[in-house]
Amino acid sequence: MKSEEDTVSSLSKMVMIVWLFLLMVITASYTASLTSILTVEQLSSPITGIESLIASSWPIGYQVGSFAYSYMADNLYISKSRLVPLGSPEEYALALQKGPSAGGVAAIVDELPYVELFLSKETDFGIIGQPFARNSWGFVSSSN
């Protein structure tokens, strides 16, 4: 008599294949879920919307020549000393990379088409919160 049993039946081979496939699916699902959780935690930002940006004391960037400056100062009552003029997408990226503690900005408020154009080239940043006040406004924040 053999001490080990061989899987000779086709039904037992089929059950084993199903179990192995199920184990592979569960492992892949766990790995994907864990990766997603860790990525979301990495992308979290203290800025959740325009209200949290207004309530903070962080500097806010805007495009030179845009009406965003007067809108934020006159309608949102953001101190003019917090508003930082930026003239190009390169300045946007540099100011966001520095961050508010190193002389940069916490976020940039601009018209949504300009923000989307900027984000099409810069993948390290993202739109945080919902567009506000006017349908074509949005703002960008560092994902760190």
Neighbours of 92 (CB within 10 A): 24
pLDDT of 123 reads 82
Reported as type and span, the H/E element at residue 94 is: helix 89-98
Alpha-carbon gap, residue 139 to 27, rounded angstroms: 38
Domain ranges of the chain: 1-43, 50-142
pLDDT tens-digit profile, the chain (144 residues): 555 666 578 888 899 999 999 999 999 999 988 887 777 555 556 777 788 888 999 999 999 988 889 889 998 899 999 999 999 999 999 999 998 888 899 999 888 888 888 988 988 888 877 776 554 455 555 555
Q: Which whole-number Å values give the CA distances from 43 to 48, 86, 114, in the listed order?
A: 12, 24, 22
pTM: 0.61
State the pairing for strand pair 60-63/83-86. Answer: parallel
What dotted CATH number matches 50-142?
3.40.190
For residue 106, the tally of other CB atoms under 10 A from its CB is 25
Residue 55's contacts (CB-CB under 8 Å, 6 or more residues apart) are none
